[in-house]
Amino acid sequence: MASHHKFLIALLGSGAALALPLAAQAQTLAYGDVSGGGSRSSASPGDSDEASEDNGGDAVGSRPRREKRVKVTPYIEAQQVAFAEISPGNEVLTYSVLSAGVDAAIAGRNNSASLSLRYERRFGWGNNTTDSDAVSGLARASMAVVPRTLTIEAGALAARTSVENNGAAMTSGLEFGDSVTQIYSVYAGPSLTTNAGAVAITGSYRLGYTRVESPNAVPVAPGQPAIDVFNDSVTHNAAVRAGVKPGDVLPVGLGVGAGYNREDISNLDQRVEDRWVRGDVTVPVTDQLHVVGGVGYEKVRVSSRDAVRDPVTGNPVIGSDGRYVTDKTAPRTIAYDADGLIWDAGVIWRPSRRTALEAHVGRRYGSTSYYGSFAYAPDARSSINVSVYDSINGIGGQLNNALAALPTEFEAVRNPLTGSLNGCVQAGGTVAAGQSPCLSSALASVRSSVFRSRGVMASYSVSGTRLQYGFGGGYDRRKFIAAPGTVLAAANGVIDENVWVAAYLSGRIDRNSGFSTNIYANWYQSGEALAGDVSGIGASAAYYRNLTSKLTATAAVGVDGVKRETLEDIWSAQAMVGLRYSF
């Protein structure tokens, strides 16, 4: 574990991947402020570049770029935490916590980045406590190599949670010791925007890596097989498009594009490959409303190998890490193979710089597909964002896509009791169309199987001078894809659904003190009858006071619960007092 922590710290601190989540269970503290706008870097067969070309790629409601601004705030912190187990036991444990971290932001004409990184060591008091350490953080950056032409996009995530018997990742207040699961994800790559006469040319490439360090033991209901927890994967995502806007050559806009997406998952050598090529047309109805459509060809294949089998019993062999051991000599088996015509039609509506809507319907992955986004910025300090998605990938691909859709400038939001970052970021200003400030859906489950994910996310946030508040929610549906005749075959066609909501309110009481509160809830419904459904709910509140310009005292309380159908419920409460010194 320590080697991965050192790797993450070096990676996040390098600046190559500088920005986490309006947290589903987090608090905004004055000393954790990182703010600012964003850019989009993901691409899919249905994406249209017309909207970004029309307004120069600016975020909805974005303000004129200011002079370059750099803010770096390292800190150290000491806390004393009391943990009370309410159910199923009744123990009261105490911990001392020492932590170090940094919050940083860069905002300029051509570069923007945000970083929130924290390492903490927890020391237990008494025989029933254990020492532990953890890294949490998020980074997001967009750095121009050639202004308005060649940009390097990057992002990274380190998060911790606990895993339930159905593979769901739930916050329970027990994200330490044997129950902790660490999730790491990072991506980086170039993005090109140029012109050849009237033809606009765009291209992008992302290389990503995701790793899940699973707990020593995941609770399993009687008679249920062990959950095959995702290990790690490498993703490649590339796209290119050339097109002309309406009126430049013809009354309508025309474009042609191609893309390639691949994810190699270490669990049973699972592989997702997606190749596509398409042409599209944009028909202006008014200056603000365009009708768009496209048609093309796509080939998607999902394959894997089987696990090593015990020569006597024929049962799959499970390694020391609790995962199936891959049979490297076994032939690759096809789990999903679809190729043929793809198409979509929709509208792009931009009545002002503060409003942007895209809505598309078509056929992809052998069935009807919907995707789109809505962004509205009533003013420079508030924003409403909605995104609808449909994709086939593993956890690594979905996390990389979610990272790439985050804004590059945001306010870090952390839970004062655990230091963790979860849920959604609070953007520093407005969020561009096509972006999403939330990661909750991508972090819903850690099953290793490839899946088709469809869902919707929505958020509303206000960053006032004295009060900051907001809420978010979403729905995610995963239909798992697994090869027949392999150990994962039972997961094929299983559908897991997750619904989550979160709300927060924070602000200043006076010049030297402030508060923060929040509530969250998750409902996870598993398609496996033996696994059962699970739901999580919690709330917390914090008070902070500046003792000097650099020293801040904090007091916080919170309660968390996980309700299960097949295992005992978990309820816990925590209280904390601490001091932070910011350099």
Tens digits of residue pLDDT in 104-119: 998 888 899 999 999 9
Chain centre distance of CA 239: 21
Q: What is the per-residue pLDDT for 179?
A: 58
**pLDDT class for 44, splitting at 50, 70, 90?**
very low
Q: Is the pLDDT of residue 33 over 80?
A: no
pLDDT in tens, 193-218: 999 999 999 999 999 999 998 765 55
pLDDT in tens, 493-502: 999 999 999 8
**pLDDT class for 171, splitting at 50, 70, 90?**
low
Cβ-defined contacts of 145-149 (< 8 Å, 24+) = 145/190, 147/109, 147/110, 148/110, 148/193, 149/192, 149/193, 149/194
Q: What is the per-residue pLDDT for 471?
A: 86
Q: What is the per-residue pLDDT for 513?
A: 95
**pLDDT class for 6, splitting at 50, 70, 90?**
very low
Q: What is the per-residue pLDDT for 373?
A: 92
Q: CATH classification of 2-582 is 2.40.170, yes or no?
A: yes
Higher pLDDT, 123 or 422: 123
pLDDT in tens, 279-296: 999 999 999 999 999 999
Residue 489: other Cβ atoms inside 10 A: 14
Domain boundaries, the chain: 2-582
Q: Please check whether residue 427 is in contact with residue 383, taking contact to mean a CB–CB distance below 8 angstroms.
A: yes
Higher pLDDT, 263 or 25: 263
Report CA torsion sign: 39, 43, 46, 49. Answer: positive
**What are the distances in angstroms from CA 158 to CA 42, 426, 564?**
20, 17, 27
**Which region among 3-12, 174-183, 413-422, 462-471 has the lowest average model confidence (pLDDT)?**
3-12
Q: What is the mean pLDDT of residues 123-138?
A: 84
Classify burial at 492, counting beta carbons within 10 Å of its beta carbon; exposed 0-12, middle 13-18, buried 19 or more.
middle
Q: Is the pLDDT of residue 543 over 80?
A: yes
